[in-house]
Amino acid sequence: MNLIAEKKQTIIEQFKAHDKDTGTPEVQIALLTEKIAQLTNHMKLNKKDFGSRRGLLMMVSKRSSLLKYLKKNTPQRYKNIIEALGLRK
């Protein structure tokens, strides 16, 4: 379940901090959110695909740890990414 290159590039363009940015927590969280959405749809169709389920859980855990890091170090950036992605209610 890889992201299409164009889709990935648009996500990076939207959340990047500077011109050559691909690794800030915001970009990583946005990419993981898109992958999680794709895998969630896959899991709805293939309920017994336990390998993909494990990958989905690992991605959710990774995104959670990145969000915790961002919340601890820069709360304003955390709030911005949460609002942009619509993760919390």
- Write out pLDDT tens, residues 7-64: 999 999 999 988 888 789 999 999 999 999 999 999 999 999 999 999 999 999 999 9
Q: Within a domain: residue 6?
A: no
Owning domain of residue 36: 23-85
Domain count, the chain: 1
Identify the CATH number of the domain in which residue 51 sits: 1.10.287.10
- Domain-located, residue 38: yes
- Identify the residue whose tokens are 């609002």: 83
Query: Would you say residue 89 has pLDDT above 80?
Result: no
* 29 in a structural domain: yes
> What's the pLDDT at 49?
95
Contact between 59 and 36 (Cβ < 8 Å): yes
Supply the pTM of this predicted model. Answer: 0.91
Tokens of 44: 């709805």
Residue with the two structure tokens 């927590």: 25
